[in-house]
A and B are shown apart, each in its own frame.
Chain A
């Protein structure tokens, strides 16, 4: 059983659509990270959350600590948003990172 569950696994959207990617985890965390990985491997950290909500441009990330759930939203999606989005959590005890399996997003022009 994976401690970090992401959904959906694959997502295809039309340009301009609003996109939501979900992440659920099973134990207490100190922080949750959303990562973006483009073809070729490079990973960029988009957000680090321990509570509430953060916004950067067209990206919004929220976290509900009580429900152990986070969402990544992309408004007005664009083909350049096509990438794999990975949720990563840092356990409150042990400090290790655990990763979701990723959501592969394709935005069609």
Chain B
């Protein structure tokens, strides 16, 4: 079974631009979660989608949004990029949304905002 894939792997943007990141979960997984990792804040939860519905959202501004498609693929969008948005963005998939589900992480998209 193929693992979680994320595209692109690396991205350079300038302040004020917007960016869309993509995540394809493991086949059969219906839950996709997004995380941001920075050296200063560590890993932080962005949001979780299950069956095209956002189930949970972390404490991030409205510039961060996401969606999930009927095939469980998910995208996250960051509008009006700020320097502080430079981070590794990880997505993880699981079969369901129960707290006891093992999450499988993708390799991440490394975003640099200049």
Q: Which residues of A contact B (CB under 8 A)?
A: 29-31, 33, 35, 41-45, 48, 50, 86, 88, 90, 92, 94-102
Contact = CB atoms under 8 A, between A and B. Distances in A.
**By DSSP majority rule, is chain B's interface helix, strand, loop, or mixed?**
strand
B103 A45 contact: yes
Nearest to A94: B56
A41 B91 CA distance: 12
Contacts of B101: 48
17 contacts: A30-B98, A30-B100, A35-B105, A41-B37, A41-B88, A41-B110, A42-B105, A43-B92, A44-B105, A50-B100, A88-B43, A90-B99, A95-B48, A95-B55, A99-B42, A101-B42, A102-B42
A95 B103 CA distance: 14
Contact of A48 (B48, B55, B102, B105): B102
A99 B41 CA distance: 10
Q: Which of B43, B98, B100, B108 has the most CB atoms of chain A within a 10 A radius of its CB?
A: B43
Given A41-B108, A45-B102, A88-B43, A97 B33 contact: yes
